[in-house]
C-alpha cells in the first residue's frame, strides 16, 4: 500500500483530494491534518510515501512545516497561491496543484509522481525547494524550530545571535537557545543583512541587540549584547559591522 497524508486546513479541500484518490486502489490515506503541527506529528508517526500539502495554513505554513522534517516524503503542493509566486518552486516540487484543480490535472500530478518516485530523490529536491522559498523572502520574519518535540516560532527580532554548532546552527534568544538543522551560509543568505551581520565565521549577530564593541586581542573585537552576552567579532566582521552601524 502507498501511504498518503493530506494536510490542509479546509475540510472541503481535503474532500476533493479524497474523492479524486478513490480511483487509486493501491493508495491508503493514513491521516488528514488541519495544520502543520499535526502534519509534523503524523509524518513522524506514519512515514507516508506522499503528502498533499497546502501552503497557507494557520501557525506555520507548508514550507515551514517541511523544514522541520528531517527526511521529507514526496510532496504535491495544493494551493490557491497565484501561479506567478509558485512558478519559482516548480522545478523542485513533485508537482503543485492550483486550486481549484480538475481530476485530469490531479491524475497528471499522480502520474508524474509514480514516474519519479524512486526514494531519496525527493528529499534532495525538497531541500532545494526550501532554499528557493527562503531566498524568495516569502516567510522570512520568523524562524520555526523543533525542540523537545514542541514546535517553536521565533520572531526574528527575538533572536540575539546565531552560532555555528557542527551540523546545526544554534539560535540564541533572550531566555533560551534552539538548534536548527541548517548551515550558517543558509541563514546569512536569507536574513536581512542590515539587521543580521556575520561578525565571525561562526556567528551572525542581530545588530539591534549590540550595546557596545570592545577591542580584544590582536585586531579582533567583542560585541557585548544587551543581556551581557559576548560575541566574537573578526577583523572582516568588524568592518562589516561598522558599515551597517554607520560608524
Q: Report the nearest approach of another protein to the CB of residue 60 (Å).
A: 9
Contact mark string toward another protein, 181..220, x via CB under 8 A: ----------------------------------------
State the Cα angle at 32 between 29 and 33, rounded to 5°: 145
Q: Decide: is 105 part of the binding site for another protein (CB under 8 A).
A: no
Contact mark string toward another protein, 138..177, x via CB under 8 A: ---------------x-x-x--------------------
Q: Which residues contact 197 (CB under 8 A, 6 or more apart)?
A: 204, 205, 207, 237, 240, 241, 244
141: number of Cβ within 10 Å: 9
198: number of Cβ within 10 Å: 21
Q: 202: helix, coil or strand?
A: coil
- Choosing from 1, 25, 26, 82, the residue that interacts with another protein (CB under 8 A) is 82
Q: Decide: is 35 part of the binding site for another protein (CB under 8 A).
A: yes
Q: Which three cell numbers stand for residue 174?
A: 533572550
Q: 167: helix, coil or strand?
A: coil
Judged by CB, which is closer to another protein: 88, or 151? 151
Q: By CB under 8 A, which span of 75-83, 117-125, 192-200, 230-238 interacts with another protein?
A: 75-83
Amino acid at each position: 500500500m502507498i501511504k498518503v497524508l493530506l494536510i490542509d486546513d479546509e475540510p472541503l479541500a481535503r474532500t476533493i483530494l479524497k474523492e479524486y484518490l478513490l480511483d487509486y486502489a493501491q493508495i491508503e490515506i493514513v491521516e488528514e491534518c488541519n495544520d502543520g503541527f499535526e502534519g509534523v506529528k503524523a509524518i513522524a508517526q506514519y512515514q507516508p510515501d506522499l503528502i498533499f500539502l497546502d501552503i497557507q495554513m494557520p501557525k506555520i505554513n507548508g514550507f515551514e512545516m517541511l523544514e522541520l522534517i528531517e527526511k521529507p516524503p514526496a510532496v504535491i503542493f495544493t494551493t490557491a497561491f497565484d501561479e506567478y509566486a509558485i512558478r519559482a518552486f516548480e522545478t523542485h516540487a513533485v508537482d503543485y496543484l492550483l486550486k481549484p484543480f480538475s481530476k485530469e490535472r490531479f491524475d497528471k500530478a499522480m502520474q508524474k509522481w509514480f514516474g519519479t518516485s524512486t526514494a531519496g530523490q525527493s528529499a534532495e529536491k525538497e531541500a532545494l525547494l526550501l532554499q528557493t522559498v527562503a531566498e524568495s523572502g516569502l516567510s522570512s520574519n520568523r524562524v520555526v524550530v523543533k525542540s523537545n518535540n514542541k514546535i517553536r516560532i521565533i520572531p526574528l527580532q527575538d533572536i540575539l545571535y546565531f552560532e555555528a554548532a557542527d551540523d546545526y546552527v544554534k539560535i540564541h534568544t533572550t531566555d533560551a537557545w534552539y538548534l536548527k538543522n541548517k548551515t550558517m551560509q543558509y541563514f546569512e543568505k536569507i536574513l536581512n543583512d542590515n539587521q543580521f551581520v556575520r561578525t565571525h565565521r561562526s556567528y551572525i549577530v542581530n545588530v539591534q541587540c549590540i550595546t557596545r564593541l570592545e577591542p580584544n586581542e590582536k585586531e579582533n573585537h567583542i560585541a557585548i549584547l544587551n543581556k551581557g552576552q559576548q560575541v566574537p567579532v573578526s577583523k572582516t566582521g568588524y568592518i562589516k559591522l561598522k558599515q551597517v552601524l554607520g560608524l
